[in-house]
Amino acid sequence: MKKALTLALALTVGTAAAQSAFVWPAAWTAEQNTANKRGGELRLSAISDFKTMNPFTSSEADSIPDRMETGAGLFTQDPRNDEFIPYMAAAPAVVSNNNKRFVVKIRQGMKFSDGQAITADDWVTTWKIHTDDKVGSNSRDSFFLVGKPITVKKIDNYTLQFDFPQPSASALSILSYAPWPDHVFGKAYREGGADAIKKMWGLSTPASQIVSPGMWVVESYRAGERTVFKKNNNWGDWNKDSRGQELPYLSNLSVRIVADANASLAAFLAGQIDIVGMRNADDLAQTKRAIDNGSLKAFLKPNVSPQATSQWITFNWNKASDPAKQKLFRDVRFRRAMSHIANRQAMVQLALGGLGSETYFSVYPIFKNQIEAGLAAGAPQYKYDLAQASKLLAQIGYTKKNAQGYLVDKSGKVLEFNLSTNAGNTVREQLGRIFADEAKKVGVKVNFTPIDFNTLVGQLTSKGENRPFDAILLGLSGGSNIWSFGSNVVPCGGNLHSYNNPTDGKCATSQEQLMTKLYYQGDAELNDAKRRAIGGQLMKAEGELQPVIYLVGGNFHVAFNERLGGEFAANMMDAYYGQRFQALTFIK
């Protein structure tokens, strides 16, 4: 409550001080830039080369358009309480028509980096181009709900109206896409359609032609080497710190392309870049050593939070060619036994070097509020317990063991299945081996083989009554803390509803039906607490059904060079929000 008051106060003071400017709350940094230091360059690295400057065809995280989108969007999430606050919007959205219509007033006086005003047309054009399937935008799906389109209309130059086909908890997040200039893209689109859009803003486009709505704009690009961004001077007109100074403090951001994660760690240790991701205990140890022997001055904090990822084992329910296996995989007792076999603690210790968390649900452990709601609703966790696993397997009819120590059925057939993961992912290979070793202890034969990634994904996402795998160990990432369930994962018929994906996409069990229903119900619930409660029920159904055995996830560690200031307070850092806002970052 105190935090909310501070925020409200900060916002009011801000509005009074500078009309139509967004004031970044002082509480969003641990360290105020009282020395008024400005200028300097934030130096980052990326592992894969930049592919395009075009925001509509860009498909990877960390792209050039992604960087330029920093600080653009109607609403933004407050890292202290996950709430959406008006950002490019001048005020909270006016919601009507049973939570399906959102009318948003846009802040006036905002400008693109080329000096043109940002108006309602920019949002409408951006939406139009993103939803044209000939453009092939990665964001296309975010403008659809259950296959039905969301529409965007201009009421006047500074008012937008969004119409949703049904209510959605993620509405404010969906509305918060970055507006790209109508005077650049709209013109091209009206004249040449999707093809004209695809040809725009390639890597050979001169930086001077690039226009940005956000904090950064491209200054130079060198193929395979480095991209340097400079601050968009017009952005500071409507972004101020709590003392009324224009943001960002930094004048440049550079992203250097490095060969791999080892090279970026080396560059960090040599003091050439400011921030690097810590992957594992080894990275942490190297950084710690460099700090201790004085060759590097850096901030290091391990185990800040879990990562927003999952690793799991899924069993194939569509095995018409092998009815015995299909029956086994569809037996909930079998899957619960498999969950009891998974020695998650050993997995954290051995595969993740002790730096990880056990997971039992599709919701990543970082989304604490949702996990708590699930546990409160009675979602079960089938923890490591070999005796319990044996008991469950005996119930299915596996009581006898053969000479090799494997369980056999009445006809003498060994209880075995194939488990594959993608070759080359050493963590997953270790997880699979730990699982297979533990399974052997209770007499289950797991034939664990790492195979080619593309083949594996082909198997996992295949559809039909007879799909070509027994069990797959893989991981997913991506998702939000608003509604932390995957739209392709939970509802029947989704392409990542990996355990049961028949031709007609129908559910095989009543729990799946319940989960599908709860998924859409929760997605449509705007009230946070009520939505989390629905999520809790969903987790309960999912936990009882155990269609997918969730294993472990890695932890998020923070490391940055001490020349940087303006990071979050330690309790605000996590894998979802990261360690800082670039707008409030400064060079000491």
Partner 1 sequence: MIPFLLRRLVQSIPTLFLASILIFFVIQLAPGDFLTPAKLNPNISPESLAALERNFGLDRHPIEQYFLWMKNMLFNFDLGLSFSYQQPVLDVIKPRIANSMYLVLLYTVLFYAIAIPIGVFGAVRQNSLGDKTINVILYFLLGFPSFFLALIVIYFILQVRTATGWDIPINGMTSNGYDSMTPVQKFLDIVKHLAIPAIILAVSDAAGLTRVIRGQMLEVMRSDYIRTARAKGVSERTAIWKHTFRNAILPIVANIGGLLPSAVAGAGFIEVVFAYPGMTPMILDAINAQDLYLIAGFTVITTVLLVIGNALSDILLAVVDPRIKVG
The beta-strand segments (E) located in 187-242 are: 216-222, 226-231, 239-240
φ, ψ of residue 235 to 5 degrees: the values are -70, -35
Among residues 59 and 449, whose Cβ is nearest to partner 1? 59
* Cβ atoms of 268 and 561 closer than 8 Å: yes
Among residues 147 and 323, whose Cβ is nearest to partner 1? 147
Residue 493's contacts (CB-CB under 8 Å, 6 or more residues apart) are 501, 505, 506
Which of 195, 50, 256 is closest to 58 using CA atoms? 50
Least separation, in Å, of the C-beta of 207 and partner 1? Answer: 10
* Cβ atoms of 319 and 294 closer than 8 Å: no
Q: Can you list the alpha helix ranges (DSSP code H) found in 377-509?
A: 386-396, 426-442, 453-460
Is residue 548 within a helix (H) or strand (E), and if so which, with residue range?
strand 548-550
Least separation, in Å, of the C-beta of 571 and partner 1? Answer: 29
Q: Can you list the alpha helix ranges (DSSP code H) found in 43-143?
A: 64-69, 120-131
Among residues 99 and 138, whose Cβ is nearest to partner 1? 138
Is residue 196 within a helix (H) or strand (E), and if so which, with residue range?
helix 187-198
Least separation, in Å, of the C-beta of 24 and partner 1? Answer: 28
Among residues 11 and 188, whose Cβ is nearest to partner 1? 188
Least separation, in Å, of the C-beta of 197 and partner 1? Answer: 10
Among residues 137 and 326, whose Cβ is nearest to partner 1? 137
Least separation, in Å, of the C-beta of 82 and partner 1? Answer: 19
Render the burial of 494-524: b for 16+ CB within 10 Å, e for the rest: bebbbbbbbeeeebebebbebbbbbbbebbb
- Amino acid in the structure at residue 150: I
Least separation, in Å, of the C-beta of 489 and partner 1? Answer: 6
3-class secondary-structure state, position 173: helix
CA–CA separation, 39 and 246 (whole Å): 12
Among residues 134 and 413, whose Cβ is nearest to partner 1? 134
CA–CA separation, 39 and 250 (whole Å): 5
Among residues 495 and 510, whose Cβ is nearest to partner 1? 495
Least separation, in Å, of the C-beta of 551 and partner 1? Answer: 17
Least separation, in Å, of the C-beta of 328 and partner 1? Answer: 26
Among residues 22 and 483, whose Cβ is nearest to partner 1? 483
Binding site for partner 1 (CB under 8 A): 41, 43, 48-49, 51-52, 54, 57, 59, 133-134, 136, 138, 140-142, 144, 147, 198, 202-204, 219-220, 222-226, 228, 254, 256-259, 263, 267, 270, 295, 452-455, 457-458, 460-461, 474, 476, 478-479, 486-489, 495-496
Which residues share a beta bridge with 315? 471
